[in-house]
Structure formats: structure tokens, C-alpha cells
Chain A
């Protein structure tokens, strides 16, 4: 079955760190760019970061640049998001998502999400 499964969310204090994981199965993981998209409670969707299939290119939203690092391990079919210097406004459900193709970068596959809460 083609699926994405996130893990690693939880409660963290402001200024703290957390690493999210996204395990992929059912498709050739290394062939696809992958992204993180977040959704604050009761709010809309916000693109956070994207990494190319090879891992050679990474892109970030201005709101997380310098604090978050996206990475991937194609041998383990796993995507990561290292989140440092967390702020209250980073509280959200974090989804991992797959680019549909190299020529069409809509998100055609989503995980179920993992909740990150930043609070003292």
C-alpha cells in the first residue's frame, strides 16, 4: 500500500528542539521530491520545506529558514524535519507530502500528520 506515516510530534518548550520522521512505503521513495506542510489549530495550510529526490536540494519557507532542516535517508525510505529554536507559532499538525511528479509539484500523497505543541 502506498502510504506516508509521520511520527515524532509532541509537547516541547519554547526554544526547544524536535525531530519529525515520515516513513514512506509502496513507492520508489528516491524518485520523488518530498515536503512538509503544517496546519495550525483551526487554521489553513502552510508549506514549510521541500527536499529533492536525491536530497541535493532543500528549500524553506521564510518563517522557518535557519531554524528547521529537512533531510532524507533514501536507504530507509524516510523523510525528516529537524526543528530547532521552536516558537509558540510553530504549534501545528505537520504533514509530510509527496510531489506528484518532477513536472507537476502538486501534493498527491499525504501522511496523517503529527501534532507539535510548543508551550511552557
Chain B
């Protein structure tokens, strides 16, 4: 099973600042099958990024994904008020599909 470790656990930033979230895998993620999800309190997760770097439908371009192999990054170029949430990475190249433990982006 591939273990995904996200860092930091919590990121305290102000609106307009840049957010950089990390996701490290215990072994190489096949074909860069790595996704990022955003979850707000009381809501279901929503897909942001798939295939490590492709934005899902309707996702603004301030969200970008990068990385390959075992190291992946989600970048939010300028935080909007609605971006404060918990972010999860997920690998789906190997079974079982696994999630990271999440990074909370909170208002500083």
C-alpha cells in the first residue's frame, strides 16, 4: 500500500498570499496518477487536480499541481477567501487507492 504524507498539517496564511502544499508518497506513483481534493466543513470533497497537473472542470487557474514519482505539490497562487479549507492528495495508480491525511489552510 502506498502511504501519502502531506505537509504541513496546517498552513496559516492571509488572503492574497501564495500557498504551497506538499504530498510525498512512500513509493513511486504509477503514471503520476495523483489527485488533489478540496473539502470545506460539512461538505463533500471536490476534485481540483488529476493526473498530478491537470485542472478539473471549472477549477480556476490559481490552482496548479506539479510533481512526479514520489513528490507532488499543490500551489494556490493567490488565496481567495473561499480557498480556506482542507486539501487532500490521493493516489489512484495502485490498489488500494489511498489518501493523504490532509492539510488545513486557515486564515492567519
Contact = CB atoms under 8 A, between A and B. Distances in A.
A32 interface: no
Nearest to B54: A104
Nearest to B43: A112
The B interface, classified by DSSP as helix, strand, loop or mixed, is: loop
Contact of A104 (B43, B44, B50, B98): B50
A82 B88 CA distance: 27
Given A106-B35, A108-B56, A110-B44, A44 B96 contact: no
A47 B100 CA distance: 11
A110 B102 contact: no
Q: Is the interface of A mostly helix, strand, loop or mixed?
A: strand
A105 B88 CA distance: 16
B97 interface: yes
A104 B96 contact: no
Interface residues of B, number: 23
Contact of B45 (A59, A100, A105, A110): A110
Contacts of A46: 99
Contacts of B102: 44-45
B8 interface: no
Contact of B97 (A44, A105, A108, A112): A105
A100 B59 CA distance: 15
B94 to A, nearest CB: 11
A105 B100 contact: no
A14 interface: no
Interface of A: 44-47, 50, 59, 61-62, 95, 100, 104-108, 110-113
